[in-house]
Amino acid sequence: MKNKKDFELMIKSIKINNPGINEEILKPFRICDRRFFIKSDFYRDEPQHIAHGQTISQPSTIARMLRLLRLQKGNDVLEIGTNTGYHASLVAYFVFPGVVRTIEIFSDLAEGAKKNIKKLVASLKNKKREASRFSKINIFSGDALNKKTAVWKYKYDRVFFTAGVDSNKINNVKKMGLQLLKENGLLLYPTRKVWDYGALEIWQKKKNILKPILKEEGYAFVPLLKKEDLKELYERRVK
């Protein structure tokens, strides 16, 4: 059961850290109860550790990303880094009947996200209209930067990353955005620099060119991983 006091403190923190945020942005946070996506401290406005050294971003940061994406009803969206499924659910609420495709490199996290979203939908059994907004989330498992993955078969109005992009992967990320975005579509990704801190960057596709829209410093994300980055981890598991 939702702890209303803690929940409202989370909403208050989102507002404090996002001056001028409107109720349209906050409404999905009220519907997508975070307790279905993490095991404890559901409503703390801070990052939380999950499996494989990954973290779920703090709600304030997610809210900022939602604002920067300028989501609209009917947008088709690609998320790289499904994590627990929380971020994808918030986006899906915004863009319905648009489709949200999300890909996660850790297959167990992808499966867990599916279960989390099912729990969210089950909690809304008496709110069928609200529950229907999560019916167009498609979750994939794999290396997002590998063109053979299924998410490369589609075009998107928005493409965003929930993991920090190191300098050696930025060109690949931009090429991905250029190929998969529709005209005027937006690409959002965090960079990683000294002490893992970097910036949120927004780019827009215009006439087959990516043009910078915004760069906002002061964010920390876990690194974006490719399959080869996990090779050592997989080998350890086999042993």
Could you give the domains of the chain? Answer: 70-238 (3.40.50.150)
* Residue 123, pLDDT score: 95
Tally Cβ neighbours within 10 Å of residue 125.
8
* Residue 124, pLDDT score: 94
Average pLDDT score over the chain = 93
* Residue 97, pLDDT score: 97
The tokens for 157 are 């109005």
Helices (H), the chain: 4-17, 23-31, 59-69, 86-95, 107-123, 128-132, 170-180, 231-238
pLDDT at 157 > cutoff 60: yes
Local structure of residue 191 (DSSP, 8 states) = B
Q: Phi/psi at 51 (nearest 5 deg)? A: -80, 165
Q: Is residue 223 a contact partner of residue 209, using CB atoms and an 8 Å limit?
A: no
For residue range 29-78, what is the model confidence (pLDDT) as tens digits? 999 999 999 999 999 999 999 988 888 999 999 999 999 999 999 999 99
Tally Cβ neighbours within 10 Å of residue 171.
10
Place of tokens 């829209």: 213
Q: How much is the pTM?
A: 0.94
* Residue 239, pLDDT score: 41
* Residue 233, pLDDT score: 57
